[in-house]
Each structure stands twice: as structure tokens, then as C-alpha cells.
A and B are shown apart, each in its own frame.
Chain A
Amino acid sequence: MTLCVVQATPTIPQERYHEDLTIRPLTDGKVVTAFTFTTLLGGASPRDPRDAESSAQHYTLFPLTLGQILREYSVTELHLSLNAGKWNYNSWGFPDHPSVGTGAELWAWMADGGPLSVDDRWMGLRNALAGLFCASLGSLDDRRTSSPASAFPLSSVPFPHDSTPYALRHATLPSEHVCTENLTPFLKLLPCKSRAGLARLLDPQRVFDTDWHGLGVHVRSTEAGIELRLGAQAVFDPVRRSRGKRRDWSFQSLFDRQIDVACPVASSSTIHLVVPDIRGYNLSPEPVASNDTVNVYSPTSHVPLDIAMSWPEEHIFKYPLPPPAPQTPLSVKRTLYGSSQTRGVLFVSFSNNDHSPITVGYLETLPALVTLWMHTMKVDVGGIARDDLVSDMIYHPPLLLANGHHGPSTLQTTLTIPGKSTLRLSVDVSKTFLKYTEHPPDAMRGWDLPPAVLFPVLLLLDGERTNASLAGQSIPKRIYTPTLLVDLPTPDFSMPYNVIILSCTLMTLIFGSIFNLLTRKWTIVKMHD
């Protein structure tokens, strides 16, 4: 029996808390807001999984509830995002926090070794986070877990002293809905909750009324210590609120709140208002600092703060026509078509909006509900087959696991899209016939398929690639495609009882007639005239 003794050398970790809000009004009247709350646990490093006993934990700004989970399962890097809506890359551009896939996405890097296996810790982590955030993360089991290491690379600083192997676990749950019950525990992780500072603005009624909203928890270990980044993003539509008339907005009109108290424990607190291509507006109050595109505010020096942006000369907002050019170099469309319940075609089109070619990694992780038939894969540009644009293809078919589940299938490849053209990729899929008990409660709705991910790739310039002349640039951040809904054959759920009763009736009929034939007494009845 060992007592968990306070560490022999009492190193009080320096904890720092920064909060930041970026607001980007767009030409189509939408307002993109991104909150970032960063807590740095200085001098700390993730727990080595080989340490048997967990030591005492003392936190001031870092949330204890999350810190315990990270230590218990010795997680080096953790990314959790809970989003609702489709991120419209074409008109909203790249998001400030790149994890914008619809539904829940969780990935973690863990050091291997120690008494518990990575998969055991992954299961514990899932369940602990599910309890903490009131989300159905517990169902991200081995049917949805894969480890696509090149799409989600380790961004933490590994243990310096040895070459510990690290393992990635990644899972998505596209049908997860984000709501107030997820925001409340999220706000509880902040030192000032939603009572002071920038988080004061996060009013659930308004945030969950937006066109797109999402929460993110990102933990990684840097050289300075463990960094926790809590992010909340939302895309507001002030035009909709004013019944299609004006695009003016203020904190009061967007969030129904102002920043009335500064968070006293925040080391820094800033608001960036980014206005790259918008003209003719008035700002109140005046920013603390500004240049052509960015205006900076500081709620610590200016309380209460209610930033308002208005277009005094514009009586009715007109939607810009023709629509503005796509804000990202690459636009992706992904569909699943085919009317039958057994087969379909997965069709993805990649449009390069740039003049130079773009090379991206393409990752498709599909649960075993659908199976890709790789021999039917076709890649064409403008109707001409271009197999030379596809390279480094890795395909893992759905594997039967020890517990009888099927793991997900993953398709990962590198695609080069020539400038100003559209690459079309199509693969035939077959849909599985599920067991009666495997269907979810609302089976007729169909099953959500997770979004595909486009990720930046390192381009090799030394001519190793055959089409090196085509390889231009890559994308700066990950791009998530929208989710898909697959329609699987659904049974009539009263069927087992009908079958039992019908077959019982049939059995009885057969039995009854044979039994009657065998035991009936035949006599001749004399008929009298």
C-alpha cells in the first residue's frame, strides 16, 4: 500500500489563461464568430502510461475534471468536436478551428506501453468524455474507430527521453446532435464559466439558433506545458433576424448579452474584428488598435463592451449578385446515389478554383454499413479517365473483429486536381443487410455516414513522383465534406411476432390434419331412403 505523496519537489506549475474572440463579417451578411479559450498548464507533461500510481493533482485554472481524465488514461493529445450544420467552405472560407465535421469527432494520441492497452484506455477515455460532455461518445466503439495517422498527425511534443511509440485512435459519430446539455459542461471547464469575460456572450438560446455552431476541446502538449484550447464557433445571420432587411449587428443583437464583467483571472483577453473586403460600415466603440483589415478590442480595459457594426447608408441589404467567388481553393461535393437498397455509387467531385494544380490527401472512413468495391473506382477530369492523378492509395476493407463487430473500412489516397478543373471520383458501394436488432430506434431515417476528410500532404519536390510537374500546392487546413445519409433495407419490426404466429398456425394445420387422419374412426353410415 503506497500513499500518494505530494511530489518531492513542489514545482508549482504556472497556469495561464487567455481568451480570444474573432469576428468575421462576410459579404453575404453572415457573421462568423470563433471563441478560443486557451489554458496553459506550464511545465506539465502527459502521464507516462508505464507509471503505475497516479500522483496528486493540483490545478488552479486548468479544469480538474478534464485534467483527471487526461491523467487517468495518459492521453498525450486529444481533440473532441461537437458540431451541428454543414460548414459552407465556399462562402465562409476556412474556419478558425479546423474540426468542423458534422456530428461528433474524437481523436486522441496516446503513448503505448504500461499495464493498460491503448484500446482499453481509448474505451475509458470515450466513456469518461461522454459522461463529462453529456454526449453519446460511448458509442464510438470499434465499429467506428480507425487510426488514419497521416490525416491526423501528432502535433504534440513527444516524450523527450525515449522513443515511445504513439498510437492514434479516431472516431466520428455524424448523427450526434449538439445542444445545451453539451454547452453547459463545456462552459464549466472555463475558470470564469459564462459569468465573466468573453464566455459571457455564449447564451445557449442564441448560439443554438445559428446557421452553424460547434464546440471543440483540443489538448496537446507543447514544450511550454500542456495546452488546453476550448473553442466555440457559430455563424450568425443578422439578416434573418431583421427579417431580410439589414445586416447591422451588435453583441446585444447577436448574443442578447454584452460583456459586462471582465474575467479577472485571464492573462489576456482580445477581440479581433476581421473585415477584409467590406466597405461602408460604422464601428462603435472605436477599436483599441486597427489596421486595414483587423480591428482589435480588449474587454479588460473597456467594460461593459458592446461592439456594434452598422451600415448607415444601406436601407435594405442586398445579397451580392453574382455570388462571390469561392473563398477556398478547393470545393468538394460528395453524394451517394442509386435507388436500390442494396447497391449505390459514391460520387465525389473536387473542383479546383485556382489556376495551379492542388494535391490533397483524401480520406474516406466508412462504417461497415457500406462496402466500397475498389475495382469499380473511376477517376476522370472532364470526361477523360485520369488514373495518373491518383497515387498512394491505401484501402482497408471492413475487418471482422474478435467481438463479432465489423470495423470500419478506410480509403486513403492522394489526389492531384489540375488547375481550374473538376476531378470526379466514383466508386460502387454495396449496402449491408443488418440484423433486426442492429437497427437504431428511428430506422426509417437511414444511417449517417461520416464526412470524408481532405488533408494537406507534404509534397515531394525531388522528382520521386511521376507527375511531379502536376504537383502544385496543397491546402492549408483539413476540409470536411458534408455527411451522407444511406438508406439501408429496413425490416418491418413486428415481423418476428408475425413469423412466429404464422408458422405456429401452419404447424397446427399440418399437425391437426395428420393427427385427425391417424386417429379418426371411420364408419359406414347407412342412409335410409
Chain B
Amino acid sequence: MDANPSHGLKEPQRLPFESPKIRRLVLGSYWTIIIIALPFWWRLTSIERIALPSDHVRTQLNRNLIFPLDVQLDAPSFGNTTSHLSRELDEVLAQTLRASPTWRNLDIRMGISESAGHPSVASNAYTVVLGDHTAVKSPRQLFVNPKDASVQRLAGILSGLLAPEISPIQEQRVIQYSSRYRLAFTLLNENAASDLLVNSWDIEPAIKDHLLPILSKLNVLHNTTVESQVQYHAPLAFEPIEFTDGNTSIHGVTPEDLTVFVNSAEWTLSSSVSNDPVLHFVLFVPSSSRQPLCILDAHGSPTNQNAFLLPQWGGIFILNRDAQDMIMTHLTVADLVPVFSAFSNQLTALLGVPALPRGVPPEVASPLSDWQLDAVLRHRTSENVLNSQQTLDSIVKLVDQIESMPVDQTVRGDVQNALSALEEAYRSAVEPPAVPLRWSSEALSLASHAFFNPGMLAMLYFPAEHKYAVYTPLFASISVPLIVALGREIYAWRRERRTARNG
């Protein structure tokens, strides 16, 4: 370590801390720290994404809920043709079900019973008895007269009861399943200042007479709350067509106008105090200058219908008053009979209750037979199962698709609970139809709860690009000297090696 005599300064290369080894060590330690820090940085800035049971969800998609149904023929009344009839029916029904798009999940097993004439309430089996007239009876009993006892007729009636055909139009009317509904009844006066003011109505007894029997039967499916109001000024948003028929002038509503009949801007029909879906039933009283208000058919001629249904929304009844009770301002229970029988039909259509097959008269004691109720329950159950399967699949797909979507423990918990509820629904398909419905409804609500979890939206408003933009002034300006120094050192090291090899 001797000083250079020519200029009196130390040679920098000879200083211990200026040796290339030390310099490379310094540079290497910088890079080591950066490389060690990288996983920490990655861990700290990553978002929580707990793995979802995706495989389980995907296998669920292909599973179907199968309802085994036992139908017993009454051996004493059918006599010695019973076993033959049972075999034939089994074949025909199996064929019908295979052809039906909605009822493939039924597994009807025909059987013969010695005591089908006196079934127990607890049993889930359906019984068919040969009697003198065709009728349905509780519990789950069907009487057929000898004329209907042929294989073709009986198979038709049984498939109409167990697997009623649902047309796409009927399907579209049915409101989405919910365990709670609100039924909002509104008496709408188009203009209270006209002569035809209806002030009040006997709503409570009318509901009790017409709707309560149906609602109490459907109790296993839905809880309902009832509310009613009277509105005195409810203008229409369109002008009905006026024409004369003989010497009276008639106002008509065309089918196109029916779609815009509800004037949501002016009619305060219901509040948003709860999240339960609402079914509206509107009794519309046109003003005296608009009476009578008729519904027109597609050709523009008046029909004698005065009620119509808005799919998934509710029903409307147009009340045209006769000339003699012009001054009446109160609607009695008797006045409301046509209105509420229309409303009860609309209600069953909106809730997806199938009609009885042709030739089977309704039960006198009850507005809904056990067969109809079971058909709704089975249909709603399979609908719920399908919906929850699809919702769960959408969650999995969405989480796979969007990288920056956080998935926390609650979402996974909901998904797992929904899956186990589905499992329970499959397992309980042999039990009374209300049990699988309950599980399927729970699965659906858990799946939707997971899908709409607000925590999954957190990152949508603060994307990763934002972070990079903010920290670029730091990262860019630090990385440039580091990379340049590294490159220079590597270049110098290679040149050294080459000179060492050559020299």
C-alpha cells in the first residue's frame, strides 16, 4: 500500500473498500434485500381469496333431484284387473314423463294396495280407488268412475295431477319463489271528484272468504302479509279509445295499452319498507266519463272480460258500475264477489298452482287439493334447486374470472352451507314434499346471500393500476440506477474473466 509518488495521491483501486469484490458485495446485498422483500410485498398487497369448493359446485350442476312417488291402486275396488292395470299404467306414465320437459325428475311407481280405500294421513302414497264418480279427496286420494278407469284415461288424469303440463306462458307469469310475500290490495278511483266515487270496501271479510282458504293451504310454501289502501286520484297514463256501440259510448283499452295500464309515477301502490316481493291486486274504478271501460281484443272489439293479469306483478280488475247504483260509495262483500274470485284466480296463477285436469271436479271443502299442492311444492323445489345450483356456479365462475375479487370466510361459509342444504334436499326427496322445499329454499337464499356479499366488491373501486400509478415515481427512479449498476458490473466481470483466460 504505497502512495503514488507522481501526484501524491493514493491509487483508489488499492483502497480496501474500493476493491471490486466489496463493490459487488454492496450491489449484491441491495439486490438480495429486494429479492427477499418481494414475497413480503406480494403477501402484504395481495387480497384475501379463500378457495371455494369449486369441484363440488361443478359436480352439483349435473345432479338432479328425483322424487319417488308411490301410487297405489285399490285392489278390492278394481278387482282382478288391478295388477294388469298397474303394469300398463306404469309403462304409459313412464313414457309421458320422459317426454315432459319439466317433470323428468319424477319416478312414479305403481303399486297395489289392499287398504287403499282407507289411507292414513301420515303416508305419502297416492291412492286410486274405483268409485261411482271421479273426484279428488284428501288425503291424496283419487276416485275414478268406471268410465275413467281405462288405462289411457287414468294415465291422463294421473299425469295431469302428478305432472301437470306447464306452458311457457304460464311459467312466465309465476313470480319468483320467496318464502315471504306481501299482498297489496288497492282500490283505485280514477277521479274521486267524479260522480262514481267508491269510498270504502269490505276488504277484510272479502279476503277472509276468498283468499284466506288458499293462503292457509299455501302456508307451507309462503308466509304472506296483507295490506290494503284506497286511492282517490289515479289517472291513467294513456287515453282509452272511445267508440259508440248502438246508442251508448264505450271506452276501450287495447292489448297494447294493457301493458302500460299501471301508472307507477302517479299511483302510490306500495312502500319499500321491507324487501319481500309484493303482489299487487288493483280494483280500478274508472271515472264517470270513462264508463264503461272495456278490454278490447286484438281485433279491436270489446270483450266481456274485465280482469287481467300482469305477469309476476299482480292482477287488475276494472269495475264498471251499473246505472242504478251510481251513487253507491261503499262496496259490500256481495259487490266484491266477482272481484275477489278474479283475484283468487290471479293469485293461484301468479303463485304457479296448476289447474286440475279436465274431467276432475275440484274438491268442495278446500280450494286446493293435496295433489295440486304437492305438484306446486315439487315444482318449486326443483326450481329452487336449479336456481341455487346455477347461482353457486356463477359465483365460482365470477371468482375465477375476476382476479382482484376478494373472497372471505363468510362467502365460503355461505357456499358450503348452501351445498349442504342442497345435499339435504336430495336426501329428503322421499319425505313429504314440504321438507325438500324447505331445504331448497334455504339453499337458494344462502347461495344468493353469498353471491351478493358486499365484501366481494371492495376492490372494484381501487384497482391495482391506481397503486402502480402512485408509486411509479419511487419505483422507476430507484430501479434505474440499480439495473444500470448491475449491468455494468456484469459487463466488467465478464471482461475480467475474458482477459484472465486470454492472459
Residues of A within 8 A of B (CB): 1-7, 10, 12, 54, 56-61, 63-66, 68-69, 72, 128, 131-132, 188, 191-193, 195-196, 261-265, 497, 500-501, 504-505, 507-508, 511-512, 515-516, 518-519, 521-524
| Interface window among B72-80, B97-105, B340-348, B474-482 | B474-482
Given contacts A264-B193, A507-B474, contact A68 B233 (CB under 8 A): no
Tell me the complex Cα distance, A523–B23, Å.
14
Instruction: Indicate if B270 sits at the interface (CB-CB under 8 A).
Output: yes
- Give CA–CA (A465, B226) in the complex, Å: 56
Q: Which residues of A contact B230 (CB under 8 A)?
A: 59-61, 191
Residues of A within 8 Å of B474, CB to CB, are: 504, 507-508
Chain A's nearest CB lies how many Å from the CB of B212?
A: 7
* Interface of chain B residues 450 through 499 with chain A (CB within 8 A): 470-471, 473-474, 477-478, 481-482, 485, 489
Which residue in B193, B204, B485, B489 is a CB contact (below 8 Å) of A195? B193
- The A-contacting residues of B in range 269-299, CB under 8 angstroms, are 270-274
Cα–Cα distance between A57 and B90 once the two chains are bound (Å) = 50
- For residue B7, CB closer than 8 A to chain A, the reply is yes
Cross-chain contact A64 with B270 (CB below 8 angstroms): yes
The answer for the CA separation of A136 and B233 in the assembled complex, in Å, is 28
A59–B230 alpha-carbon span in the complex (Å): 7
Beta-carbon contact of B227 and A10 below 8 Å: no
Beyond A65-B268, A508-B473, A519-B485, whether A4 also contacts B224 by CB under 8 A is yes
Assess whether A264 is in contact with B192, with CB atoms less than 8 Å apart: yes
Is B138 interfacial (CB-CB < 8 Å)? no
**Quick check: is B1 within 8 A (CB to CB) of the other chain?**
no
**A5 partner residues in chain B, CB cutoff 8 A:** 212
Beta-carbon contact of B273 and A59 below 8 Å: no
A68, B271: Cβ atoms closer than 8 Å? yes
Known: A193-B233, A507-B474. A60 touches B200 (CB 8 A): yes
Q: Mark B7-24, 1 if CB is under 8 A from A, else 0.
A: 101011100001010010
Q: Taking the nearest CB of chain A, how far is it from the CB of B9, in angstroms? A: 6
Contact residues, B189-207 vs A (CB, 8 A): 191-193, 197, 199-200, 203-205, 207
Residue of B nearest to A189 (CB): B268
Nearest-Cβ distance from residue B214 to partner chain A, whole angstroms: 11
Q: Are B11 and A57 in contact (CB under 8 A)?
A: no
Closest Cβ of chain A: how far from B299's Cβ, in Å? 36
State the CA gap A139–B12 with chains docked (Å).
Answer: 70
B225 at the interface (CB under 8 A from A): yes
Knowing A515-B481, A515-B482, A519-B485, the reply to whether A3 touches B208 (Cβ < 8 A) is no
Evaluate contact between A524 and B273: CB separation under 8 angstroms. Answer: no
A58, closest chain B residue (CB) = B228
B310 CB within 8 Å of chain A: no
Q: Do the beta carbons of B271 and A65 come within 8 Å of each other?
A: yes
Shortest C-beta distance, B6 to chain A (Å), equals 8
B193 touches A500 (CB 8 A): no
Contact B215 A3, beta carbon cutoff 8 Å: yes
Contacts of B268 in A (CB 8 A): 63-65, 188
Measured CB to CB, the closest approach of chain A to B323, in angstroms, equals: 20
- Does the CB pair B482–A196 fall under 8 Å? no
User: Which residues from chain A contact B7 at a C-beta distance below 8 Å?
Assistant: 524
Distance between Cα atoms of A521 and B21 in the complex (Å) = 12
* Residue with the greatest number of chain B CB neighbours at <10 A, chosen from A7, A65, A69, A131: A65
B435 / chain A contacts, CB cutoff of 8 Å: none
CB of B12 within 8 A of CB of A196, answer no
Q: A6-B212, A59-B229, A519-B485 are in contact. Are A511 and B478 (CB under 8 A)?
A: yes
B170 at the interface (CB under 8 A from A): no
Give 9 A-B pairs besides A192-B233, A519-B27, A521-B20 with Cβ atoms closer than 8 angstroms: A6-B208, A58-B203, A59-B228, A65-B273, A131-B272, A263-B232, A264-B192, A511-B478, A512-B481
Q: Find the A residue at minimum CB distance from B486.
A: A519
**B215 touching A508, Cβ below 8 Å:** no
Q: Could you say which residues of chain B place their CB within 8 Å of the CB of A523?
A: 12-13
Flag if B223 contacts A519 (CB, 8 Å): no
- In the bound complex, what is the Cα–Cα distance between A4 and B11 (angstroms)? 99
Does B26 interact with chain A (Cβ within 8 Å)?
yes
A-B complex: 9 closest residue pairs judged by Cβ atoms:
A522-B12, A65-B271, A64-B229, A504-B474, A504-B473, A508-B477, A56-B226, A60-B230, A68-B273
Contacts of B219 in A (CB 8 A): 1, 3
Cα A58 to Cα B272 with chains together (Å): 17
Chain A positions within 8 Å of B205 at CB level: 10
Most-contacted residue by chain B among A64, A516, A521 (CB, 10 A): A64
Q: Can you report 9 residue pairs joining A to B where beta carbons are below 8 Å apart?
A: A1-B219, A56-B228, A57-B226, A58-B226, A58-B229, A60-B199, A60-B229, A64-B270, A132-B271
In the complex, how many angstroms separate the beta carbon of A264 from the nearest chain B beta carbon? 5
Question: Which of B233, B274, B481 makes the CB contact (< 8 A) with A196?
Answer: B233
Q: Which B residues lie within 8 Å of A497 (CB)?
A: 470
Instruction: Answer yes or no: B220 CB below 8 A from chain A CBs.
Output: yes
Are A265 and B232 in contact, CB atoms less than 8 angstroms apart? yes
Q: Which residues of A contact B203 (CB under 8 A)?
A: 58
CB-CB < 8 A to A7: which residues of B? 204
What residues of chain A lie closer than 8 Å to B32, measured between beta carbons? Answer: none
A141 to B192, CA, bound (A): 41
- The chain A residue with its CB closest to the CB of B187 is A60
A58 touches B11 (CB 8 A): no
Residues of A within 8 A of B26 (CB): 518-519
Known: A4-B224, A65-B268, A188-B268. A522 touches B18 (CB 8 A): yes
CB neighbours (8 Å) of A521 from chain B are: 12, 18, 20, 23
Tell me, yes or no, whether B216 is within 8 Å of chain A by CB.
Answer: yes
Cα distance A4–B226 when bound, in Å? 7
A2 to chain B, nearest CB (A): 7
A3, B227: Cβ atoms closer than 8 Å: no
A507 neighbours in B (Cβ, 8 Å): 474, 478
Say yes or no: A264 contacts B473, CB within 8 Å: no
CB neighbours (8 Å) of B224 from chain A are 3-4
Q: A72 with B273: in contact, given A10-B204, A515-B30 (CB under 8 Å)?
A: yes
Which residues of the partner chain A approach B478 to less than 8 Å between Cβ atoms?
Answer: 507-508, 511-512
**Per-residue 0/1 for B244-283: is the Cβ within 8 Å of any A Cβ (1 yes, 0 no)?**
0000000000000000000000001011111000000000
A518 CA to B485 CA, complexed, in Å: 11
Roughly how many angstroms separate A63 CA and B233 CA in the complex, as a whole number?
A: 13
Which chain B residue shows the least CB distance to A4? Answer: B225
CA distance A188 to B270 in the complex (A): 12
Most chain-B CB neighbours within 10 Å: which of A4, A7, A10, A132?
A4
Q: Are A191 and B232 also in contact (CB < 8 A) when A6-B212, A10-B205 are?
A: yes
Cα–Cα, bound, A248→B253 (Å): 49
Alpha-carbon separation in the docked complex, A354 to B272 (Å): 51
Chain B min CB distance to A3 (Å): 5
How far is B203's CA from A12's CA once the two chains are assembled, in angstroms?
10
Docked-complex contact B18 and A128, CB < 8 angstroms: no
